[in-house]
Each structure stands twice: as C-alpha cells, then as structure tokens.
Chains A and B, each alone.
Chain A
C-alpha cells in the first residue's frame, strides 16, 4: 500500500524560530516525486517544495528546505526564520501514477 504518515497533528513555535515537520511514506516505486503543500486559512493548496526521489541533493526554496532520506523513506520539511504568514496546514504528498497520495497534515502555528 502506498501511504504517507505525518506524525505531528499540530505544532507551534515562536516567530523567527526554526521548525521541522516530519513525514514518512511507503511506496514500492523506485522513482517518484515528493511534495510539501501549504494550506493557509484561504484553503488554497500551495506548493512549497518538491523533491525528485533519485536526486540525493536536498531541495531548498528560500527559507524552506527538506531532509530527504530515501532508504528510511523520510521527507521532513524545515522552515527557517519562521514568519506569522507561515501559519497553515502543511501536507506531505508523493506522486505515483500521476496521482498525489497525501498525508493527514500538520497544523503549524507561528506565535508572535
């Protein structure tokens, strides 16, 4: 079965701190893409970062970076210098057969 597990239902940190959101997944595919999507109160799903499984180098997008451990099937998201606007639900997902398989999400609250 192809699954995504996000073990942290909710997290909160102070503004400017660094926070790491965990994600593990299970798939029998050898090549796939992994994604983190953000869902702010506006409800729109916004792509934060993506990683191709056969690339060893971890993806980075400004303050967002991932720690991709393929053997462990782990794909965590690190947010540096967190901002109030980072408050949102964060979903980990991977694509197989052109379909996104989603985790349950982590609610991240950035406190002023």
Chain B
C-alpha cells in the first residue's frame, strides 16, 4: 500500500534556528496536512493545503510557520525561529479528496526537539 514518507524521523535544533520538516505524500493525493502532538497532549491540527494554497489553518499556525510544495512530490513545514514549545511530534498526512469523512493517510512523524 502507498505510504506517506516523512524525513527526518528525529530532528534536534537550537532555539531560534530554522527547521524544515519534509514529507512525501502519496502520489495521486491532492490534499496535504500537518498535525502535531506535544508530549502528553492531544494531537492538534496545524494546516491543510491544496492547489498550492493553505485551505485551513489553526491558531497554532502563526507567522513562524509556513508550508510549501516546492516540487511535484515534496510537502514541507518550515518553522522560522524555533521555540522550546515547538518541541513535538509532527505528522504529515495526505488525502485523495477533501470531504468530511475523507480518509487521511499519515506518515510516521518527525520528532522535533528544540534545545
């Protein structure tokens, strides 16, 4: 079965540094998402992306965050100036269509540690 691939699996960075988390969605999927899970807390929605535009974003997704589809296969999440509270597991997901019951396919996540 096709999979969503995320790299790296672990990322350690210093506070204030920029990080880019990378995702390769399933090839025929058109909708892309980022979710995150801070240790001990619930999974939270960050952003959805379609046709090179943000479709929805949460309050968490402030100006420090940006997403991009730089080519036909990658989908990236950039954090411009990391803070300690950005430490979390970041999950990328993709779906074939956009619907209330649409099945999202998730990657295995990138564990981001900000020191």
How many of chain A's residues touch chain B, expressed as a range?
20 to 34
Which of A12-20, A39-47, A62-70 participates in binding chain B? A39-47
B89 touches A43 (CB 8 A): yes
Whether B58 contacts A42 by the Cβ 8 Å rule is no
B interface residues, Cβ below 8 angstroms from A: 3, 35, 41-45, 48, 55-56, 58, 89, 91, 93, 98, 100-109
A97 touches B56 (CB 8 A): yes
Q: Is the CB of B98 within 8 A of A98?
A: yes
**B45: chain A residues within 8 A (beta carbon):** 99-101
Q: Which residues of A contact B (CB under 8 A)?
A: 4, 31-33, 37, 42-47, 50, 52, 91, 93, 95-105
Alpha-carbon separation in the docked complex, A31 to B102 (Å): 14
Q: Which residue of B lies closest to A51 (CB)?
A: B101
What are 25 sample pairs from A and B whose C-beta atoms fall under 8 A apart? A4-B42, A33-B100, A33-B101, A37-B106, A43-B109, A44-B106, A44-B107, A45-B106, A46-B106, A47-B103, A47-B104, A50-B103, A52-B101, A95-B101, A97-B56, A98-B48, A98-B56, A99-B45, A99-B58, A100-B45, A100-B104, A102-B43, A103-B42, A104-B42, A105-B42
Q: Whole-angstrom distance from the CB of B37 to the nearest CB of chain A?
A: 8
Q: With A and B bound together, what is the CA distance between A100 and B48 in angstroms?
A: 11
Which one of B35, B48, B103, B108 contacts A44 once the chains associate, using CB atoms below 8 Å?
Answer: B108
For B43, give its contact among A50, A91, A98 (CB under 8 Å). A91
Which residue on B lies nearest to A29, using beta carbons? B100
A43 touches B43 (CB 8 A): no
- Nearest chain A CB to B54's CB is how many angstroms away? 12
